[in-house]
Structure 1
Amino acid sequence: MNKEIESGSKSLKRDEMIKYAYDLFYRNGFHATGVDTITEGTGISKRTLYKHFTSKEGLITATIDHYHQLRYKAISDYLEKSTIRNPVDKALIIFDFLSALVNSGMLDGCFAMNAKTEYANKAKEIEAAYDTYVAAVQQLIESYLKEGKIADYKSIAMQVVMLFEGAIIRSKALGNSQPVKLAKAAAKVICNQ
């Protein structure tokens, strides 16, 4: 019984570090946020942090996984709860999801993409975590396009995701959702909708 309590306590500490670091990284960036800031904010020692994550990059990878869980669920729920019946149209409302985020003031971009950009060619585990997240989103789009009988649905889904990623970057740069609307229009053309 004590081992279960101890294990649960370790899991809570780990989760607390991930959530706290996630917020700091999203707000301040990855290089600008030091391990000291994270340990001071959580009251957890560096030793404990490094017991759970072998490095700062390990913590960043865990925060990307946290983002993946949150964002993928939010996207899939948004698509699934839509009353749109046509599966291709349903896939393309991923852009409406993004527009809603941008219009609500969420202009920090994609957390996972931000990490990959800051650590490009420097940390393979961070890049791999980003790639896993994008692959999951792409497979979600693929499933709707396949259901909609789109020929070469895998290639088309990749193009839709590329438009989605580009819309994230441009919306972040411009501070509005206009790029998202343009990306959705281009995605409709690609899908022959």
Structure 2
Amino acid sequence: MAAPRSSPRQRLLETASDLFYRIGIRSVGVDTISEQSGVGKPTMYRHFSTKDELISAYLEEENRRHWQWFEEVLTAYQGNAKAQLLALLEVTAQMISEPGYRGCAFLNVLAEFSDEGHPARRQAIEHKQELNRRLYDICREAGALDPKVLADQLSLVINGALASAPIFGAAGPTGQLTAIGTHLINLQFNAPNG
């Protein structure tokens, strides 16, 4: 028995997501998405009236998948916030060393869309702000001496690694993510009081 075929909307979104990530959002036209998804343009426009709507749906799905992944990492170390921080660094380092990794989808969007008012840019900024907020919550729960500073430092190191991976690969600067992040975490817990 053949697997059920996904809906036209799902095929459009899956195709656009793959192309947007691999090639770049601005480099991919709606004709290519329609052709490669096997969904005609009239049907495509019934689901997404503009390319911007399709971009927004792509980012919503990336956001959903990222936070699901993030929560799975945390769940594995539930009750130990410091271990959660260390695990986030480790799995991020693993992710950016995977073949085909082309950078963070949200950082890529920020590079492609300079217009402050563009919805895709706003979605990417909101995602990165949410990362910083969640890191802060974990740092606070872990008992860091200054959870805001540690969250900011980890956010900077993680985003730096995500942005550097397409340039340098898993070796070089990107390979320092876990070491730098661990060092910053340990400073927050090993520093003398007062």
State TM-score, norm by structure 2.
0.81
Give the equivalent residue in structure 2 for 1:164: 158
Give the equivalent residue in structure 2 for 1:131: 125
Q: Is the 8 A contact 1:102 1:177 kept in 2?
A: no
* Cα offset, 1:177, TM superposition: 4.5
Give the equivalent residue in structure 1 for 2:178: 184
One-letter code aligned to 1:175: G
CA RMSD of superposed structures (Å): 2.4
Alignment of 1:100 onto 2:94: yes
How many angstroms apart in 1 are the aligned matches of 2:147 and 2:10? 37
Give the equivalent residue in structure 2 for 1:4: none
Alignment of 1:53 onto 2:48: yes
One-letter code aligned to 1:33: V
Q: Is the 8 A contact 1:75 1:97 kept in 2?
A: no
Equivalent pairs, count: 182
Change (3 A) 1:57 1:169: same
How many angstroms apart in 2 are the aligned matches of 1:76 and 1:24? 26
Identity across matched positions, percent: 23
Change (3 A) 1:53 1:64: same
Which sections of structure 2, spanning at least 5 residues, go unmatched?
Answer: 1-5, 190-194
Which sections of structure 1, spanning at least 5 residues, go unmatched?
Answer: 1-10
Give the equivalent residue in structure 2 for 1:37: 32
* Cα offset, 1:181, TM superposition: 4.1
How many angstroms apart in 1 are the aligned matches of 2:150 and 2:95? 24
SS in 2 for 1:93: helix
* Cα offset, 1:178, TM superposition: 4.3
